[in-house]
Amino acid sequence: MRFLPHTPEQIQQMLDVIGAESIESLFAGIPDSCRRLKMMALPEAMSEWALNRHMDKLSDHIAVSPEYKVFLGAGRYNHFIPATVTSLSSRSEFLTAYTPYQPEISQGTLQAIYEYQTLAAWLMGVDVATASHYDGATALAEALLMAVRKTGSRQVAVSSLVNPLYRRVVKTYLEPAEINILELPRLQNGQTDISPLEGIQGIAAVALQSPNFFGCIENIGVAAQKTHEAGGLFVAGFTEAMAYGLLKNPGSLGADIVCGEGQSLGISVAFGGPGLGMLGCTRELMRNLPGRLVGKTKDSTGKNGFVLTLATREQHIRREKATSNICSNNSHCALTAAVYMASLGKTGFRDLAQLNHDKAAWLCEKLTASGYPPAFGAPFFNEFVVKFPPEFEIRYAALLNKKIVAGLPLDKYYPELSDHYLLCATETVSMEDMNALIREVTS
């Protein structure tokens, strides 16, 4: 989209209409402590063509070239995307981010979202799934707010092994509303310690992520049972949707609400965005869901028709009664995920999940044989934690120069885990890449 700035005359006309003396006067109500009072030190403006050349040069330095061997996961996962997904999702009639505000005239868009909801509900094991949210972090926060609305309790428990960035978003949502957040500690095997729930009553929700941030698979069934005994709703989160090609889905294990990140389902990592927030629940909780739900019905002639069955999020519909005013539909990402899941099918999805597991297990086995066993004993999916010697920090930087990203250092998020690295291997990592990493680590 071209940027066409307003002329000084147009700006003055707008100021005259609203009765303001200047643009600066519009911000007079904002305290100086919250404002930048000095002009930013920006370079001189460029022509469009000079700016394009400048951006091209920058991309040469920041783009991750195919020569890089990347062993990063931690919430964003590299997966091959079938050509069918790119081809179908890029058709002009699908290139919109939102469900139309007059949905009944856009039956194709509504049907696509309905198909996504059906596949998402199957994947998560829930009765109903929404038409998607911003990302996995906001989906988790919305899930906890659902539980607070349903139970009336203002206390939730969140595992310390939920993605740290997700937990920060949860705090942003819940703390201003004076909702208390109890953080559940971790066990030595890399799973969540749910023993603090013993004796607690009146909790709104307990949230675990499986596979968790360390890649370890949580005992969802036991956690759900303990949560229900405490009178709360159990929220099962995830960042790697691919895992449920092998693992039992959370809904079948007793989760009341399931939420997570669907980026793995045909959406490129793309420097961290966009994401696909997936959220679903049992039928009993359906009317507490934020966002939109597309349903199928019959028109007056008996033909199938698609409608917005629930739109509880919409502030233009429910105003102050809306369950959320900031969740988004992101329907193009949802469509992409639907095409991806349909392209793989049930068998293909399971086979791809098995390949992800097997590659990570092979890498873990070889590192263990080289003297670097996994730091935690719990089963994992496609990523795991390894403790390297302290001097590996220097080696890590050297490996970057060799175009090898040897996992994620964990000390930034877990200071007690210095020298621990989170390694990930999906189907995109070749045997040659893994052998190269092992040679560099053990040499």
Q: What is the pLDDT of residues 219-257, one digit of tens each?
A: 999 999 999 999 999 999 999 999 999 999 999 999 999
How far apart (Å, rounded) are the C-alpha atoms in residues 281 and 95? 28
Q: Does the 83-341 domain belong in CATH 3.40.640.10?
A: yes
Kindly compute the dihedral angle of the four CA atoms of residues 83, 86, 88, 89, in this order, to the nearest 10 degrees: 160
Higher pLDDT: 139 or 327? It is 139
Q: Does residue 220 contact residue 253 with C-beta atoms inside 8 Å?
A: yes
Q: Does residue 162 contact residue 187 with C-beta atoms inside 8 Å?
A: no
How far apart (Å, rounded) are the C-alpha atoms in residues 77 and 57? 27
pLDDT, the chain, mean: 90
- The yes-or-no verdict on residue 163 having pLDDT over 50 is yes
Query: Which pLDDT score, from 0 to 100, does residue 65 have?
Result: 65
How far apart (Å, rounded) are the C-alpha atoms in residues 314 and 310? 10
Of 136-145, 236-245, 266-275, the one with minimum mean pLDDT is: 266-275
104-122 pLDDT, tens digit each: 677 888 888 899 999 999 9
How much is the average pLDDT of 88-101? 72
| pLDDT bucket at 319, cuts 50 / 70 / 90 | low
> What is the CB neighbour count within 10 angstroms for residue 236?
28
Determine the residue type at 249: N
Query: Which pLDDT score, from 0 to 100, does residue 102 have?
Result: 62
- The yes-or-no verdict on residue 266 having pLDDT over 90 is yes
How far apart (Å, rounded) are the C-alpha atoms in residues 135 and 59? 26
Q: In 3-state terms, what secondary structure has residue 181? A: strand
Query: Which pLDDT score, from 0 to 100, does residue 90 have?
Result: 86
Query: Which pLDDT score, from 0 to 100, does residue 1 have?
Result: 46
Q: Does residue 378 contact residue 392 with C-beta atoms inside 8 Å?
A: no
Query: Which pLDDT score, from 0 to 100, does residue 329 have?
Result: 57
- The yes-or-no verdict on residue 287 having pLDDT over 90 is no
| pLDDT bucket at 327, cuts 50 / 70 / 90 | low
How far apart (Å, rounded) are the C-alpha atoms in residues 246 and 237? 16
Higher pLDDT: 255 or 292? It is 255
Query: Which pLDDT score, from 0 to 100, does residue 168 have?
Result: 97
5-58 pLDDT, tens digit each: 789 999 999 999 999 999 889 888 899 888 888 888 888 889 989 999 998 888
Query: Which pLDDT score, from 0 to 100, does residue 58 have?
Result: 83
pTM of the model: 0.85
Enumerate the domain spans of the chain.
Answer: 69-81+345-442, 83-341
| pLDDT bucket at 101, cuts 50 / 70 / 90 | low
- The yes-or-no verdict on residue 313 having pLDDT over 70 is no
What is the CATH class of 69-81+345-442? Answer: alpha beta
- The yes-or-no verdict on residue 410 having pLDDT over 90 is yes
- The yes-or-no verdict on residue 89 having pLDDT over 80 is yes
- Residues whose CB is less than 8 angstroms from the CB of residue 169 and which lie 6 or more positions away in sequence, other chains included: 137, 138, 140, 141
Q: How far is CA 309 from the centre of its chain?
A: 25
Q: In 3-state terms, what secondary structure has residue 369? A: helix
| pLDDT bucket at 432, cuts 50 / 70 / 90 | very high
State the angle between helix axes of 331-369 and 107-124 in degrees (0 to 180), rounded to the nearest 10. Answer: 30
Structure tokens at 317: 């519909």
Kindly compute the dihedral angle of the four CA atoms of residues 194, 199, 200, 202, in this order, to the nearest 10 degrees: 130
How much is the average pLDDT of 177-198? 95
How far apart (Å, rounded) are the C-alpha atoms in residues 266 and 160? 29
Using a pLDDT cut of 90, give the percent of the chain over it: 66
Higher pLDDT: 199 or 334? It is 334
